[in-house]
Structures are given as C-alpha cells and as structure tokens.
Structure 1
Amino acid sequence: MTDPLADWDIGRPLPRDARVFVAGSSGLVGSAVARHLRAAGFTDVVGVRSARVDLRDADATARFLDETRPAVVVDAAARVGGIAANAAEPVEFLHDNLRIQANLLDAAHRVGVGRLLLLGSSCIYPKFADQPIREDSLLTGALEPTNDAYAIAKIAGIMGVQSYRREYGRSWISAMPTNLYGPGDNFDLEKSHVLPALMRKFHEARVSGAPTVTVWGTGTPRREFLHTDDLAAACLHLLEHYDDPSPINVGVGEDVPIADLASLVADTVAFTGDIVYDTSRPDGTPRKLLDVSRLLSLGWKPTIGLAEGLASTYQWFLDQQGAQR
C-alpha cells in the first residue's frame, strides 16, 4: 500500500484521501473529530465501536489496525467521568486508560502510522500549578487527589508518545484539552462532568417545578470550557502544523467561576428557581486555566462562545430526550 504521507510535510494540508482512524469515534470528542474531518474533505475516516473492538484488548487492537492500516490516528478513546466517578473507580480509570493508550501506540507503530495525535486532559497538571497553566508545569507538583489515577494514566500516554518519537523517530504528538462540552456529552448525574451534570439538574428542576437546584461545592472554583467542535478544529490544525515532543494545551484562554456557570446554565434552560451550594461536597482544583499561547501562535483560535455553545448543547440534549421547551 502506498504511503499517502510519503511526500507530505508539516505546515501543509494533510492529503484528504489519507485514511484516518479516530479511536473513540462514538464518544463526545471522537464524534466531533470525525465530523470535522469529514467536513474538511477527508474521504476515509474510520471509527469502530467498543462492542466490536475493545481497545483495552491488545490483540483485538492490533488486528484492527493491521486490517485498516490508517495513515493517521487520533486517540480520543478513554474512560472518562467527573469527580464522583473518578473517586469511586480509580482502578478502572487507571488501568483502562493505560491499556487503551499502550495498545494503540504499539499497534500504530507496528503498522507504520505516520501521524498520531493523543488527546489527554488538563487534569495532568499539578493541583496548585501557577495560572494560567503552561505546558512546562507538568510533573512539578502534586495532582488533584480526586482524579489522580486518571491523570497518571494520561501522563503515561504523553510519555508513550515522547518515547516513540525518541526511540523510533515517530512524528507523533499529544494535546491537552481543557474541560470539554458539546453534542454527545454524558448527562449521567453520577458519572458526568460538571457542565452536563448542571444542565441535566437544571432541566429536570424546570420540568418538575422544583424551587431549588443544589450544586456541589462552594461555587468559587474557576473552570475553562471548550466546545468539542472547537477542539476538533484544533486537532486538525495540530496534525498539520505541530511536530514537537512537548504536549500542547488546547483551550479558550478564559475561565468562569462555577457559580457564574451555574447561573448561565440556569438561564439557558429557563430555570427561575434558587441555586443552593452544598459546601460539604468537594470543590476539586481551585482553578484550572490553560495557557494557550503556544497554540494561538500556530494560527488557531476558538470560535464558539460559551453562551452559544451551551444553547446548542442544550438543544441537542432536548432532541435526545424527545423534550420540548
């Protein structure tokens, strides 16, 4: 098979006929990446559901990549969840993510994948890192204990990419997105991240006529939120313009207090009751704002504002629920 990247160089558009395997293509991030690649003209975007190929299984992963022979791989596959899920299942979050990453990197190397992008998470950085968080903050302090198992697995993924670059000369990269949201998110109250959990809480309160909604923590922690369609655009931009062993941050460069986010979500779903804060619940990291100056210097910037993104995400949620405003 002819290598579609044989005559390709960083800084030029990837060949649109190159086969791209998006691992985790049915999830929040992977579906957005696959959608964006197709919209950008890629004609051979491959995905597979975990029911058919379990990426935690090394043999199954190797067989699939041997059969499909992608030129490019985007690793958006992961076991993910919010504070409650991470605290309850650290073994699963550690082992599943370690296995997925190791299996994909190993199989991709053996079939000669030319470009690979591993997506991590901003939770890899120390809990009390200087703000905004630069990429060189990695491994300079203690992690947030509520999701340290997941963070360690993602740090191992970064090291995997760097190791294949160093030992085998692979042109592989890793990117660390901030908090993500968008169509396809997980709205399970026990396993979801803060934004979709808030959206579902406020929606159900509005529908039931409940007078209050309880939000975990004090409302003071600040968080940055990136729409998955913006992340997907950044992924393609990085595949075409970035080739460095250091992970690169992907975010919007602005954050909001959780209390302000809760009010914005309440407005989005038309909830008019009161918001109560349960201060017995953990806040998590006090602030987590990424320094995205390196990404911006490559010529990319986000285009979807938080209010606009919340509105489209809520409409997707309503469509899935068969609900009406």
Structure 2
Amino acid sequence: MTSKIDKTRVFVAGHRGMVGSAIVRQLEQDPSVDIITRSRDELDLTDQAQVRRFFAENPIDEVYLAAAKVGGIYANDTYPAGFIYQNLMVESNVIDAAHQNGVQHLLFLGSSCIYPKDAEQPMREDALLTGMLEPTNEPYAIAKIAGIKLCESYNRQFGRDYRSVMPTNLYGPGDNFHLENSHVVPALIRRIHEAKRAADPVVDIWGTGRQLREFLHVDDMASACLHVMRMGRDPLAKLTLPQRSHINVGNGKEYSIEDLANLIRAEVGYGGDLRFDVSKPDGAPRKLMNSELLISTGWTPRIGLIDGIQSVYKWYVEQ
C-alpha cells in the first residue's frame, strides 16, 4: 500500500501570458506540484469580490503573481490610466486575498522600469526611489513599486514570505506581437517579417536606435522565479534594503536597439533598410540591471540573445 503524497498547490496568476505560461511549463516538470490556474473569463483579478471568493474556495500554498497589463513605450504613453489602475487592482486584490487566506509564500513580478531614469548603471536594488522615473512609463512603474511595497508591508506586519523579482526586458514564446502595443523585440520581429513578405524597402523604428537595453529570454526568467521562490531566507539577508525588498533578474548583457534590429533583420532574412524616427521617444537612454545578488545564490541564465531570437522567430512563424 502506497502512502498519499500531498502536493504543493500553486496558483499561477496570469498563466496565459508570456511569463506565466513559462512558469507553468517549468512547474509541470515537478510531480510534487499541483498547478491551479484560472482564465480571465473565469476569474477577473481586478474584481476584489471574485478574487476573495476564489482564494476562500481554493486551498493554495504558493502564488506566482505574473498577471499584469504590460506594453511598450507607445502603449504606456497612450494608456496611462489603464496601466496604473489595472496593475494596482490586480496586485492589491491577489496579495491581500492570499494573506487573508493564510498563503505564506508569494512571488510578485515587477519590472526594471521601477528604477529612476538617471539611475547609476548597472541598476542596483537600492536605487529604488532615489530619483525621478522615466515619464513615458511612470504610471506602470508606480504600480509595480506599490506591489513591492505591498509585499514588504505584509512581510513586516504579518510575517509573510512574499518576495519580489524585477526582470529586465523579457521576450519569448507567448509574447504580444501587436505592432504598436508590444515590447520592442516582438514588435521588431513582426514589423521586419511583414516588411520582408511585402517586399517593403524600409522599416521604420521608433527613436534613435542608440538606447541600450538588456534582454532576457522568458524561460530564463521562469527558472529564476522558481529559484527565488524556493531558496531559503539566508540569501535574502544579503540585501541591505528595508524588509529585504526585491531581487533583480537579468543577464548583464546590453545591446543598442539598432543592434537588436540588425540581429532580427539577419534572422528574418530581410534585405531592406532600417530607418530610425528620431521624432519619437527613446525612453530611458540605458537600462542595465545589476543581478549580482541573484547570481550569487546559484542561478545563471542559459539562453543567449541570438539563440533566443532564433527560437522566438521560429515560434512566431509557426503561430
């Protein structure tokens, strides 16, 4: 007679998004985990009553809070109210409901845009709240900072173990490839791919192309999320921030947007020209994360940008 093994019940909020789906793929490899998911039609995370009822009716041990309204410069600049409202509501509802129903372990996913526009590079965790934010995504950044502080506050007041990870620019399968509302990697892949198909001689790209960015494949991000959720408290003691605030997730490598566009152009096989529209905003001139703390705990990224672009373009064409 075999004894029943209790599984860890893990709720992944935002499981259909790029990061959430990557977390689910990795959790599925662990037979000791029972994954709990709900679609937006089944559970509206901006609705406090629905979220409270869901947590009350479903025993949960851990939460990965990957649900968020996300987008690139254009989307952030065009829909600021949606970005701050929806993200504030989702994180407030989920974090409080988790606490009210005795969930001890939660991982909140933020963004590198929480750091000041002129933060010293590479950006360390203790740069948070030391200067003005980048104007084009300030509402989104404020919402993510609020999520960090929610986790800190529940840890401080109630002894919860709610952790926050701040990823650099992510890309990968499951990304949003909308021409205007997506992040730079999927937007460039689609734009250059369609230019090749239409035999267009030129592809227009926002900004000067000189702005520098760091890019991390979403599967590396998912592995970092599981690593941070499962590691002991000792590595977090290395943080000098109040309440052991948050941990950066990046790979330490940066590329100009022009270099990125040329990598994608080579992968797509597009022979036309790239034209940079300097009348459009660049955003922050440079965004490089200092991920020494996370790397010191034993996590390492595994997917380089060239291999990552190849795999994502293949996925995009197949879709």
2:221 is matched with which residue? 231
> Corresponding residue for 1:309?
308
CA-to-partner distance for each residue in 1:247-271, whole Å, 9 max, x for gaps? 1000111110111000001111111
Distance 2:6 2:213 in 1: 36
Corresponding position of 2:23:
33
Partner of 1:60: 50
Partner of 1:194: 184
Could you tell me which residue of structure 2 aligns to residue 204 of structure 1?
A: 194
Do the aligned partners of residues 59 and 148 (structure 1) sit closer, same or farther apart at CA in structure 2, a change above 3 Å counting?
A: same
Q: Is 2:80 the counterpart of 1:90? A: yes
Structure 1 stretches of 4+ with a deviation exceeding 3 A read 40-43
Q: CA deviation at 1:43?
A: 3.4
Q: Which residue identity does 1:99 align to in structure 2? A: M
The reply to whether residue 240 of structure 1 matches residue 230 of structure 2 is yes
Of 158, 163, 181, the match for 2:153: 163
Among 47, 57, 63, which residue is 2:37 paired with?
Answer: 47
Give the distance between the partners of 2:254 and 2:29, measured in 1 at CA. 29
Secondary structure at 1:301 match in 2? coil
CA shift in 2, pair 1:42/1:199, >3 Å: farther
1:277 maps onto 2:267 in alignment: no
Cα RMSD of the aligned pairs, angstroms, is: 1.1
Counterpart of 2:199, as a letter, is G
- Show the counterpart of 1:263: 262
Sequence identity, in percent? 52
Distance verdict in 2 for CA 1:96–1:242, change over 3 Å? farther
> What stretches of structure 2 of length at least 5 have no aligned partner?
237-243
C-alpha distance in structure 1 between counterparts of 2:197 and 2:187, whole Å:
15
The answer to whether the 8 Å contact 1:18/1:71 transfers is: yes
Aligned partners of 1:17 and 1:271: how far apart in 2? 49
Cα distance in 2 between the residues matched to 1:133 and 1:141? 12
Q: Deviations over 1:106-139 (max 9, x none)?
A: 1100111121000000000000100000000000
In the TM superposition, residue 242 of structure 1 has moved relative to its aligned partner by 5.1
Letter in 2 for 1:238: V
Give the C-alpha shift of residue 16 in structure 1: 8.3
> Is the 1:16–1:41 contact (alpha carbons within 8 Å) kept by the matching residues of 2?
no
- Superposed CA deviations along residues 182-241 of structure 1, whole A, max 9, x for unmatched, are 000000011101110000000000111111111110000000001110000000100111
TM-score, with structure 1 as normaliser: 0.92
Structure 2: how far apart are the matches of 1:184 and 1:176? 19
Mapped to 1, the partners of 2:318 and 2:31 lie a distance apart of 27
Q: SS state of the match for residue 180, structure 1? A: strand
Q: Which amino acid aligns with 1:32?
A: A
1:272, 1:242 → 2: CA distance? 51
Are 2:10 and 2:33, in contact at CA under 8 Å, matched by a contact in 1?
no
* Residue of 73, 79, 85 corresponding to 2:69: 79
Q: Is 2:23 the counterpart of 1:24?
A: no
Cα deviation code 1:152-198 (max 9, x no counterpart): 00000000000000000001100000000000000001110111000
TM-score (norm 2): 0.94
Deviations 1:252-301 (A, max 9, x none): 11110111000001111111111111110100000000000000000000
Equivalent residues of 1:230, 1:302 under 8 A apart: yes
CA–CA separation in structure 2 for the residues paired with 1:263 and 1:131: 24
Question: How many residues end up aligned between the 2 structures?
Answer: 306
